[in-house]
Amino acid sequence: MKKLSVYLSGNMTPDSTHYYDWVSEFSRAFADSDRYTCTFSKQKASAKFSVEHDLARLSRSDIVVANLGISNQEHSIASVITEIYEAHRQGKIVLGFVSGNIRSTQASSPWVSEFLSHVFPTMQDVIDYLIHEDNLPV
Say whether pLDDT at 47 is over 80: no
Alpha helix (H) ranges present in the chain? 17-29, 47-60, 78-89, 110-113, 123-131
Q: Give pLDDT, residue 14.
A: 80
Q: Give pLDDT, residue 65.
A: 97
Query: Mean pLDDT across the chain, nearest whole number?
Result: 88
Q: Give pLDDT, residue 137.
A: 54
Other CB atoms within a 10 A radius of the CB of residue 61 amount to 23
Phi, psi of 4 (to 5 degrees): -80, 135
Q: Give pLDDT, residue 70.
A: 83
pLDDT in tens, 74-122: 888 888 999 999 999 999 999 999 986 688 888 888 888 899 999 999 9
Q: Give pLDDT, residue 102.
A: 85
Average pLDDT in the 45-66 region? 87
Calculate what percentage of the chain has a pLDDT beyond 90.
54
Which distant-in-sequence residues (6+ apart) come within 8 Å of 64 by Cβ? Answer: 6, 7, 9, 58, 83, 84, 87, 92, 93, 94, 95
3 state DSSP class of 123: helix
What strands, in cross-sheet order, belong to the sheet with 36-40? 36-40, 4-9, 63-67, 93-97, 118-119
Average pLDDT in the 14-37 region? 91
